[in-house]
C-alpha cells in the first residue's frame, strides 16, 4: 500500500498533452495534476487560445502557455528554465518520455533537480519499430520513468536508462463511472428496448479495436440470443467500412452505429450495457498494438463484464474468467463463446460486474494511482539523485 506523502513538493510540469485538448494522454496528465501537489505546481503547456485561458483559470495549478507545441526545442527549453528559476521546483515532470526526455539534461542542470517522465503507448511502439536508441537517449538523464503496463515495460526495458521504473497506468474516475448509473437514456437514444440484451463497444473506430470482428460474429449471436443488440459507439477512420459491413448483415441486424457520445454521456453509455466487448488485435507486426485499454476499466468500474483481445497490455486490464474474458481477437469462435457465455448467464454477469468494480476501485482508481505517483516524486526528491552535468 502506498501512503500519500506528507511533504508538499513544488513541481514543474512540461507537457504537450494538456486539456482543453481531448485525448487519453491529456486526461492522464490532467488527473495527476489535479491530485498531486496541485497548489504548488506550475505547468508549461502548449498554445491553446482562448479556450485554453478559460480552462487554465479554473485549475488549482498555474499554467504557462507556450506560443506553439511543447517539443524539445531551444525555445521551449529557455521558457521552461525561465519559469523554473522563478518557481524553484523540487522536481521536474515531463508529460511524455519521448520526445520530451531530450530536455532532461538541460532542465536538470539548469534547475539542479531530478527529472521524472511519464511514458504511454507511443514509447512502446517506438521500441517495437526499432527506435530503441531514441528511447535510450531520451531516458539517459531521467531519475525515474513510469510505464502504463507490464507489456509496455517489457518492450521498453532494454532501452531505459532511467534509474527507476514505476508502473503507473492511467486510472479511472470511480465516482464518475459507477454501476448505480441509469443507462435508460443511452438505450433510448440508440433505440434499444430496455429489456434487450445489449453488447457494446465504446471506442475509436479503427481496425485494431476489432469492431469488424463483432459485426462478423453478430448474426451467430443473434441466432442464439434473438433480440440482442450490438452498439458500436465512437467515430474513426473505419466508420464507413463498418457501416457497410453492418448494412450487409440484412434488414434488421440488431446493430446500432451510435457515433461519438459526448464526454458527459460516457458513463451512462457504459451503464446501459450488459456486456462490453472490444476484441482488439495486434497489427502490422506489432506496430499497431493496444497499450492497455482504458475502456475496459471504465466498463468494469460501471459493473459491466469486459471482453478484451490479446494485444499488448489489454489482457492486464481484465481478470480472465472473473471480471470478463480475454480472447484472441482474430478467432471468431472465441469471441462467440465469450459473448454467449456472458449473455446466457445474468447471475455470472452480475458477479463479474461486482468483481470488476472491486478490482477497479482497489487497483485502478485515480486516487490510488495519484498516490503512487506522489510517492515516486517524494522518493526521487528525497534520494537526491545527482543531476547530470
Q: Which of 328, 289, 291 is nearest to 307 (CA)?
A: 328
Q: Which of 326, 364, 306, 376 is nearest to 146 (CA)?
A: 376
Nearer to ligand GDP, 294 or 334 (CB): 294
We find the least distance from the C-beta atom of residue 276 to ligand GDP, in angstroms, to be: 10
User: At 229, which helix (H) or strand (E)?
Assistant: strand 229-233
- The SS3 of residue 189 is helix
List for the chain the helix, strand, coil content (%; round to 5): 45, 15, 40
Among 130, 263, 347, 386, binds ligand GDP (CB under 6 A): 263
We find the least distance from the C-beta atom of residue 208 to ligand GDP, in angstroms, to be: 8
We find the least distance from the C-beta atom of residue 359 to ligand GDP, in angstroms, to be: 17
For helices 211-224 and 332-344, the axis angle rounded to 10 degrees is 50
Cell numbers at 27, concatenated? 486526461
We find the least distance from the C-beta atom of residue 161 to ligand GDP, in angstroms, to be: 27
Q: Is 214 in the site for ligand GDP (CB under 6 A)?
A: no
Binding span for ligand GDP by CB under 6 A among 9-17, 46-54, 104-112, 201-209 = 201-209
CA 139/CA 75 separation, integer angstroms: 21
Among 55, 62, 204, 283, binds ligand GDP (CB under 6 A): 204
We find the least distance from the C-beta atom of residue 207 to ligand GDP, in angstroms, to be: 12
Q: Cell 482508481 appears where?
A: 365
- Cα four-point dihedral sign 219, 223, 330, 344: positive
Q: Are strands 306-309 and 275-278 parallel, antiparallel or unpaired?
A: parallel
We find the least distance from the C-beta atom of residue 336 to ligand GDP, in angstroms, to be: 23
> What contacts 45, CB < 8 A, 6 or more positions away?
13, 15, 16, 18, 52, 63, 64, 65, 66, 70
Nearer to ligand GDP, 124 or 336 (CB): 124
Nearer to ligand GDP, 89 or 313 (CB): 313
We find the least distance from the C-beta atom of residue 316 to ligand GDP, in angstroms, to be: 13
Q: Is 381 in the site for ligand GDP (CB under 6 A)?
A: no
For residues 335 and 305, the answer to whether their CB atoms sit within 8 Å is no
Q: Cell 454521456 appears where?
A: 265
We find the least distance from the C-beta atom of residue 265 to ligand GDP, in angstroms, to be: 7
For residues 332 and 214, the answer to whether their CB atoms sit within 8 Å is no
Q: Is 100 in the site for ligand GDP (CB under 6 A)?
A: no
Nearer to ligand GDP, 122 or 368 (CB): 122
We find the least distance from the C-beta atom of residue 379 to ligand GDP, in angstroms, to be: 27
Q: Is 324 in the site for ligand GDP (CB under 6 A)?
A: no
We find the least distance from the C-beta atom of residue 370 to ligand GDP, in angstroms, to be: 17
Q: Which of 327, 324, 314 is nearest to 356 (CA)?
A: 324
Q: Is 268 in the site for ligand GDP (CB under 6 A)?
A: no
For the chain, the residue count is 389
Q: Is 261 in the site for ligand GDP (CB under 6 A)?
A: yes
Q: Is 332 in the site for ligand GDP (CB under 6 A)?
A: no
Q: How many residues bind ligand GDP (CB under 6 A)?
A: 15
Binding span for ligand GDP by CB under 6 A among 110-118, 147-155, 198-206, 350-358 = 198-206
Among 233, 242, 326, 339, binds ligand GDP (CB under 6 A): 233
Q: Which 278-317 positions form the footprint of ligand GDP (CB under 6 A)?
A: 293-295, 298
Q: Is 44 exposed, middle or buried (0-12, 13-18, 19+ CB in 10 A)?
A: buried
DSSP 217: H
We find the least distance from the C-beta atom of residue 203 to ligand GDP, in angstroms, to be: 5
Binding span for ligand GDP by CB under 6 A among 37-45, 97-105, 259-267, 367-375 = 259-267
For residues 100 and 83, the answer to whether their CB atoms sit within 8 Å is no
Nearer to ligand GDP, 31 or 139 (CB): 31
Q: Is 169 in the site for ligand GDP (CB under 6 A)?
A: no
Q: Cell 470511480 appears where?
A: 174
Q: Which of 95, 102, 165 is nearest to 135 (CA)?
A: 102
Q: Is 234 in the site for ligand GDP (CB under 6 A)?
A: yes
Residues that bind ligand GDP (CB under 6 A): 24, 202-204, 233-234, 260-263, 266, 293-295, 298
Amino acid at each position: 500500500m502506498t501512503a500519500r506523502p506528507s511533504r508538499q513538493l513544488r513541481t514543474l510540469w512540461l507537457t504537450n498533452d494538456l486539456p482543453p485538448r481531448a485525448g487519453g494522454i491529456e486526461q492522464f496528465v490532467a488527473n495527476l495534476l489535479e491530485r498531486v501537489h496541485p497548489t504548488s505546481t506550475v505547468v508549461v503547456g502548449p498554445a491553446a487560445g482562448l479556450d485554453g485561458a478559460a480552462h487554465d483559470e479554473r485549475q488549482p495549478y498555474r499554467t504557462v502557455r507556450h506560443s506553439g507545441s511543447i517539443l524539445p526545442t531551444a525555445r521551449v527549453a529557455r521558457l521552461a528554465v525561465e519559469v523554473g528559476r522563478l518557481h524553484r521546483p523540487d522536481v521536474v515532470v515531463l508529460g511524455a518520455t519521448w520526445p520530451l526526455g531530450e530536455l532532461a539534461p538541460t532542465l536538470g542542470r539548469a534547475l539542479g533537480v531530478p527529472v521524472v517522465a511519464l511514458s504511454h503507448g507511443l514509447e512502446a511502439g517506438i521500441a517495437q519499430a526499432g527506435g530503441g536508441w531514441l528511447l535510450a537517449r531520451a531516458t539517459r538523464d531521467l531519475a525515474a520513468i513510469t510505464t502504463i503496463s507490464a507489456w509496455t515495460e517489457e518492450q521498453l526495458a532494454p532501452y531505459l536508462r532511467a534509474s527507476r521504473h514505476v508502473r503507473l497506468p492511467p486510472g479511472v474516475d470511480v465516482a464518475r463511472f459507477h454501476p448505480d448509473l441509469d443507462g435508460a437514456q443511452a438505450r433510448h437514444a440508440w433505440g434499444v428496448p430496455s429489456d434487450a440484451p445489449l453488447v457494446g463497444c465504446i471506442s475509436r473506430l479503427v481496425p485494431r479495436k476489432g469492431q469488424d470482428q463483432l459485426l462478423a460474429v453478430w448474426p451467430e449471436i443473434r441466432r442464439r440470443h434473438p433480440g440482442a443488440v450490438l452498439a458500436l459507439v465512437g467515430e474513426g477512420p473505419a466508420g464507413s467500412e463498418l457501416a457497410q459491413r453492418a448494412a450487409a448483415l440484412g434488414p434488421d441486424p440488431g446493430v446500432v452505429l451510435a457515433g461519438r457520445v459526448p464526454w458527459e454521456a460516457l458513463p451512462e453509455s457504459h451503464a446501459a450495457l450488459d456486456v462490453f466487448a472490444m476484441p482488439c488485435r495486434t497489427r502490422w507486426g506489432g506496430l499497431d498494438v493496444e497499450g492497455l485499454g482504458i475502456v475496459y476499466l471504465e466498463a468494469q468500474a460501471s459493473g459491466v463484464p469486459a471482453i478484451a483481445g490479446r494485444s499488448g497490455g489489454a489482457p492486464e486490464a481484465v481478470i480472465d474468467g472473473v471480471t470478463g474474458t480475454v480472447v484472441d481477437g482474430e478467432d471468431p469462435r472465441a469471441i462467440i463463446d465469450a459473448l454467449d457465455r456472458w449473455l446466457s448467464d445474468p447471475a455470472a454477469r452480475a458477479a463479474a460486474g461486482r468483481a470488476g468494480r472491486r478490482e477497479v476501485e482497489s487497483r485502478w482508481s485515480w486516487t490510488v494511482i495519484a498516490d503512487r505517483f506522489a510517492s515516486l516524486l517524494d522518493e526521487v526528491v528525497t534520494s537526491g539523485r545527482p543531476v547530470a552535468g
